[in-house]
Amino acid sequence: MAIHQIDSRIEDSLKERLEQGPFISLRMDLINKCNLRCQFCYYSDPKIAARPTKTVSLDTFDHWFRRLGPNIKELLLSCGDEPFMAPRFVEILKTISTYSDSLDVGLCTNAMLMNSSIRAALIDYGLTFIIFSMDGATKKTLERIRVKSDYERIVGNIKALKTLRDRSNSQYPKFLFNYVIMRSNIHETLDFLDICKKLDADLVDFRHVVPTEYWNDEGEKLGNYPHLFNAYRERILAKAKSLKLDVVISPPMDTDSALFTIPDSHENLLEDFNAAKEDDNLDLEPTPKRFAPDFESRKPLALPQEFFADSYCERPFTEIVIRNQKEAVPCPWHGKVLGELDEETDLKSIFLGEGFANLRATMLRGEVAPACSQCPVKSHLLPTTVISGKGD
């Protein structure tokens, strides 16, 4: 009986909170395609890469967004696919820009397809943060891991966006970088921090590679080399502090192994980065979107912690992910679909529906839901706590 009362209180409080303002993060893909075949990604499977193309139309997006829109604090236009492959990307971003002057809109990209017209649209229509996925400081390493990538094009496109942003006197989009760390690329992490500093990064996210049914190379997993990871982690944090960069990285690993020492001096690996030429965009003159005076990208969570204080995860209380253009889940790794979008069912009814409510109740009882068993955040493979290098 007590558990039922607690569940009812939380669900009623969430309904009330929905009336007070935005706090939900919505994550989705606009297309089920990617132009790369990264070693550890499901797109390395030819069957996944060859599946029929599915895209989100403007009408479909508007239907998804309409009822829940006033409650969305953050909108991420990619989860596991490449957003710039979507044929209606610019049109959808333009429409999103009209919804609110306080909406935080971001995306994750490999930057290969970020041409001049897309770069201008990102500034014109108010993309507030962009996450670049790069797993190497050098051409050789990046192109080996991110199969079909082109180092010069990627770096040149990012440099060009930075130039355009600076010339437009825009503070957006903020630059964030993801770096998947493995045995074969961890030696480039220190130079990668130098690259991120040159590109005015706001955050560098170092995350362990996640084993999946498509990839599971024991020789690459740093859990098998804890002394190596711990040594580089210490140097990464020291380098980030010296550069005044914020980073995300998992805690040190427990190990009885002998200490691993990194030489104080190492080969400088910035030659490829320095040689990459930015795409010419001098004819572009975007007009940055105007935001509300109190707008701040990547604001701390707006939902009071009392809602999930007894839970091991906040996502079912604050986040919705649309997977495969119809399936609603609380995060990309959740093993059970909690609702499906159709003409009659929208995101708000799913968020307040039985699937999400039962998961929230399970978590508040201190239980681990079976569908959370493969969560890489719980295993620290994808840490989320920012370690500030700026002295904050």
Domain ranges for the chain:
2-387
Q: Are strands 104-109 and 129-133 parallel, antiparallel or unpaired?
A: parallel
Secondary structure of 177-201 as H, E, C letters: EEEEECCCCHHHHHHHHHHHHHCCC
pLDDT in tens, the chain (392 residues): 344 444 688 899 899 999 898 999 999 999 999 999 999 999 999 999 999 999 999 988 888 888 899 999 999 999 899 999 999 999 999 999 999 999 999 999 999 999 999 999 999 999 999 999 999 999 999 999 999 999 999 999 999 999 999 999 999 999 999 999 999 999 999 999 999 999 999 999 999 999 988 899 999 999 999 999 999 999 999 999 999 999 999 999 988 766 777 877 677 899 999 999 997 766 678 999 999 999 999 887 777 777 777 787 899 999 999 998 899 999 999 999 999 998 888 899 999 999 999 999 988 888 889 999 889 988 888 888 899 988 65
- The pLDDT score that the predictor gives to residue 257 is 62
Q: Phi and psi (nearest 5°) for 160?
A: -65, -40
Q: pTM for the full model?
A: 0.94
Which residues does residue 130 pair with via DSSP β-bridges, in sequence order? 107, 175
* CATH class, 2-387 region: alpha beta
Alpha helices in 67-172 (DSSP H): 89-97, 116-124, 139-145, 151-167
